[in-house]
Amino acid sequence: MKSIVVDGSSVEEAVQNALKKLGVTREQVEVNVLEEGSRGLFGLIGGKQASVSVTLKVTPEQLIKDFLDEVIEAMGLETEYTVFLDDGYWYVDFTGKDVRFIIGRRGKTLNSLQMLTNMAVNRKLEERARIIIDAEGYRSRREQSLRRLAQKTAERVRRTKANVMLEPMTPQERRIIHLELQNNEWVSTTSRGDDPYRKVVICYKSRGA
């Protein structure tokens, strides 16, 4: 965390001087008063400057950027990203020339990066941040693909009356499968195993009930 010590004729002046130097607002810092300061005799003799230590607060956004910048540099990728908060989730959206390397085969690299980012960021926070990483709309395309897979597999289970276990998926991907088939009269769904190898099983319901 970046921290600076600044003096002023008063605590408030010292804080304002620090905010100007850091280029931030009062809500983005924590202030520790080191010296209250005094005006001295008649406001002229023996006065002391006020002194404050001002520290930038650790935010999920900054931690996300710090971690991803290191990853991108280490991988030597030409890519950019934006970070934004929406409905309680921190979203990261990658774009650029090398975005395919961020996605990986069937999104495995993207999912791994998302898991690592969540781990790296949340170990430094008191309150858990929920982070979702996407790349040029991949997750939306993946969702549609999973919905089709769910319906196709459910029809196969109905015909053969044999349960089918799908490939390992992230919690978000498993949720898509569960929601897609929750009202299907012929099959039910459950999850088995431990993350990151937890899988959805599509099970036959006898008599379609």
Q: Would you say residue 209 has pLDDT above 80?
A: no
- 52, 66: one domain: no
- The mean-pLDDT minimum among 7-21, 43-57, 129-143 falls in 43-57
Is 104 buried (19+), middle (13-18) or exposed (0-12) by CB count in 10 A? middle
CATH code for position 77: 3.30.300.20
Residue 79 domain boundaries: 60-136
- 68, 112: one domain: yes
Q: Would you say residue 208 has pLDDT above 50?
A: no
Average pLDDT of span 16-35: 83
Q: Is the dihedral of CA 189, 192, 195, 199 positive or negative?
A: negative
- 171, 122: one domain: no
More confident: 208 or 101: 101
Contact 33, 67 (CB under 8 A): no
Give φ, ψ of 100 to 5 degrees. -65, -30
More confident: 37 or 8: 8
Looking at residue 82, its pLDDT comes to 95
Confidence (pTM): 0.67
In a domain, 145, yes or no: no
In a domain, 141, yes or no: no
Q: Would you say residue 21 has pLDDT above 80?
A: yes
Looking at residue 50, its pLDDT comes to 84
- 46, 65: one domain: no
| Digit-coded pLDDT (tens) for 46-64 | 468 888 888 888 889 989 9
User: How far is Cα 59 from Cα 129, in angstroms, rounded to an integer?
Assistant: 10
User: How far is Cα 132 from Cα 134, in angstroms, rounded to an integer?
Assistant: 7
Query: In this prediction, what percent of the chain has a pLDDT beyond 70?
Result: 93
Question: Could you write out the DSSP letters of every residue in 9-50?
Answer: SSHHHHHHHHHHHHT--GGGEEEEEEE--B--BTTTBS-B-E
Q: What is the average pLDDT score of the chain?
A: 88
Tokens of 101: 């390397």
Q: How many domains does the chain have?
A: 3
